[in-house]
Structure 1
Amino acid sequence: MTALLLAVIYLAFISLGLPDSLLGSGWPTMQNDFGVPSSYAGYVSMSISFMTIISALIAPVLIRRFKTHNIVVISILLTVLGLMGFSFASSYAMLFLFVIPYGLGAGSVDSALNNYVAKHYSSSVMNFLHCFYGVGAMISPYIMSLALSRARWNEGYRWTAYIQSGIMLVCLLSFPLWKKNAETSDDDESDSTGIISALKIRGVIPTLIAFYAYCSGEATCFLWTSSYFVGAKQGISTELAAAFGSLIFGGLMFGRLISAFVSNKLGDRLLIRIGIAVEVFGTLLIFLPLKSYIPAAVGFVITGIGMGPVYPAIQHMAPENFGRKNSAAVIGLQMASAYIGSTFMPMVFGLLQQALGIAIMPIYLAFFALLSISLLEFAYKRIPSHTTV
């Protein structure tokens, strides 16, 4: 029963990743249809992120009232509505009506599932869970590509909505598994704390800033890696530079896969320390003033490998560090911090690189990596020993 429920949770995390890559892969065609500049994709993306932040912040209240399995189904339903709305949008302005369910459907389910896995499963499972998010994020560009070759971009959103509907049906049918697991667990969300109470716990705020810092670096890599090769390395084609945009994703997935096999033995804190050390080493390779692009390409892969375990490990430590009854609120805050960092800091880097040149990217990445580990180490010293109950 436990293995079957875990399979459902993995499937739900695939559904979480599915919508995230559609806008980027479909936007070149969408902008032509809507007659708007390319930069307008940023407004849609930021609106989705804003709704996701709100959803993450209200997640602790929702978990107390509706339980994780209900939140999963409702959130996927909201995402389906958002995807279907995008597929029927006939103007750019219509997109902003549907970013509401699109974004709200992401934050709560992300927080709820991370909290559930952190409380009931090992660190290894948490790392595998985030690998499955990557599977969803990697599938959706292929769905959009197929839609663009066979029909129009609208069908890419519609087909993804159909897949999401199938996953939602599986999650509905899995309700007996969730209830069975609840009967054999002493976990009760009814007495979990709220956001304000969680913020008062020693060590929470530096952990949130550390999580924000980590996600700032990660998202900057997602957006600017290809541009780095075009701007900082000579003699590289735009096609090859575009392909190099996947280096960080490949490294990230590989890092989480490795971590899934060693995390139970090493523990979350040591895994984070090793991961960030590897990440900083990767940024040093990127920073080397060499004409060849190969060291930088290897550096981005190594940077991704180092990043791999950090996000899952911070999430998994929440019940142990801050107490099981506080974990839902803390993880909700962590998700909000993550989305703030990933939404705004790549834009900040864009402004910096315009003024100073894109070659500063490895320095920017190393700064956030070192800021993250410094704050985490500071938080560890402030965490009360009694919060593990």
Structure 2
Amino acid sequence: MYALLLAIIYLAFVSLGLPDSLVGSGWPVMHEDLGVPTSFAGIVSVVISMGTIVSSLSSDRLTRRFGVGLVTAVSVAMTALALLGFSTASQFWMLLAWAVPYGLGAGAVDAALNNYVALYYNARHMNWLHSFWGVGASISPFIMSFALSSGSGWAAAYSGIGWLQVVLAAFLFVTLPMWRKVATTHTAAAGEAPEAKAVSLGGALRIPGVPCVLLAFFSYCAMEMTAMLWGATYFVNDRGFDPTLAARFGAFYILGLTAGRFLAGFVADHLGDRTLIRLGFSLAVLGALVLALPLGSVSFAGLVLAGVGSAPVYPAIIHSTPANFGREHSQAIVGIQMAAAYTGSTVMPPLFGVLSSVTGLWIFPFFLMALGALGLVMSERLRRR
């Protein structure tokens, strides 16, 4: 049962990643069909992010009241409904309306699943699970590309992935007793008494070390999303590379991230979360430094190194939460960490865009270095506390 539930969670992480690249890959066609400017993609992203932040902050109370299995099943059902709704959108406001349940569902399932795995599974599984998220995020652009090239249109891509989510949601509802049994068995074996009282946001922030981990998570996710969004543009506008070649270079960061998490899974239990966080931030900063050097096309290796280095940071921070702050507080703090992550990935890439319009894109690797250094300093402060 333990292994079967783990396989279900792996599928859930793939499903988490599947919709994440759909808007970006389909937007060049979607905005024309909906009659809105290209820049309106940012509005959709902000609405989704606001929903994820709200549901992440509510995840502690929801999971304590309804259980992780039910929260996960309902959240996946919400994202499925939203994706099917996207496929029927004929006007931009309809897209925004469906973005609300999508964001709420995505944030709740992300926080609930991450904390569940941190509590009941080894560190290697946390890394591999997030690698599977990368698999899902990598597949969806191909689904969108096939839908567009076959003449089915972008709506068919949303509909297809939406129905996949419906099937997963139904499977999750069927397996609800399994979630409760694994948690109960593990708690009884460890001699732990489950905590009945939820932790408020203010109460969680007063726990020593929580502000440090939130800043570390904020800076990591800001660094990751900035690299993903601006990497190709940096190679074109600052280094003078061909756009096609630059697009390939930009993809290397995501590939490094996915491969790095897969490889980190083999050493995670041996090295431990703290070592992985320290090593990850350090390699990410080193990769950004290589990116800044005048090495011609070889400088893309810096983006690969930054991706591989960044890979274990997110899973390790999540997995170390019960050990750092107590199992009774972990769901509340994981939820707040998710909110900090979404805030960093939403706010900082546009901020870099404003900053680079004044200074020039040459600042890109130094911006990444600053975020990586901040994350490293905050994680070390947390370790000392």
Q: 1:215 aligns with which of 205, 221, 225?
A: 221
Equivalent in the alignment of 2:297: 293
Report the TM-score when normalising by structure 1.
0.95
CA RMSD after TM alignment: 1.2
* Matched letter for residue 367 of structure 1: A
* Matched letter for residue 343 of structure 1: T
Structure 1 residues 1-389: aligned runs within 5 Å: 1-150=1-150, 151-186=152-187, 188=194, 190-234=196-240, 236-290=241-295, 292-294=296-298, 296-382=299-385
* Matched letter for residue 128 of structure 2: F
Alpha-carbon distance, 1:149 to partner: 1.7
Contact 1:229 1:293 in 2 (8 A): no
Q: Distance in 2 between matches of 1:369 and 1:63?
A: 32
Percent identical pairs in the alignment equals 47
Alpha-carbon distance, 1:189 to partner: 5.3
Contact 1:231 1:359 in 2 (8 A): no
Q: Distance in 2 between matches of 1:80 and 1:184?
A: 31
Q: Distance in 2 between matches of 1:196 and 1:352?
A: 32
Unaligned runs of 5+ in 1: 383-389
Contact 2:282 2:376 in 1 (8 A): no
Contact 1:250 1:304 in 2 (8 A): yes
Cα deviations by residue, 1:190-219 (Å, 9 ceiling, x for unpaired): 334232221110000111011101111110
Q: Distance in 1 between matches of 2:195 and 2:118?
A: 14
More divergent stretch after superposition (76-85 vs 172-181):
172-181
Contact 1:147 1:155 in 2 (8 A): yes
Q: Distance in 1 between matches of 2:304 and 2:195?
A: 39
* Matched letter for residue 267 of structure 1: G
Q: Distance in 1 between matches of 2:16 and 2:71?
A: 13
More divergent stretch after superposition (185-194 vs 337-346):
185-194
* Matched letter for residue 168 of structure 1: A
Alpha-carbon distance, 1:254 to partner: 1.6
Q: Distance in 2 between matches of 1:183 and 1:209?
A: 33
Contact 1:29 1:153 in 2 (8 A): yes
More divergent stretch after superposition (66-75 vs 162-171):
162-171
Q: Secondary structure at the match of 1:184?
A: helix
Equivalent in the alignment of 1:386: none
Alpha-carbon distance, 1:329 to partner: 0.5
* Matched letter for residue 197 of structure 1: G
Q: Distance in 1 between matches of 2:86 and 2:198?
A: 36
Equivalent in the alignment of 1:385: none
Q: Secondary structure at the match of 2:186?
A: coil
Equivalent in the alignment of 1:387: none
* Matched letter for residue 287 of structure 2: G
Alpha-carbon distance, 1:176 to partner: 3.1
Cα deviations by residue, 1:51-95 (Å, 9 ceiling, x for unpaired): 111010111110110100001110011101111111111111111
* Matched letter for residue 348 of structure 1: L
Cα deviations by residue, 1:196-249 (Å, 9 ceiling, x for unpaired): 221110000111011101111110011001101101213x22111122221110
* Matched letter for residue 341 of structure 2: A
Q: Secondary structure at the match of 1:185?
A: helix
* Matched letter for residue 85 of structure 2: G
Q: Distance in 1 between matches of 2:86 and 2:237?
A: 34
Contact 1:213 1:369 in 2 (8 A): yes
- How many residues are aligned here? 379
Runs of 4+ deviating beyond 6 Å: none
Contact 1:65 1:190 in 2 (8 A): no
Contact 2:277 2:379 in 1 (8 A): no
More divergent stretch after superposition (302-311 vs 139-148):
139-148
Contact 2:120 2:183 in 1 (8 A): no
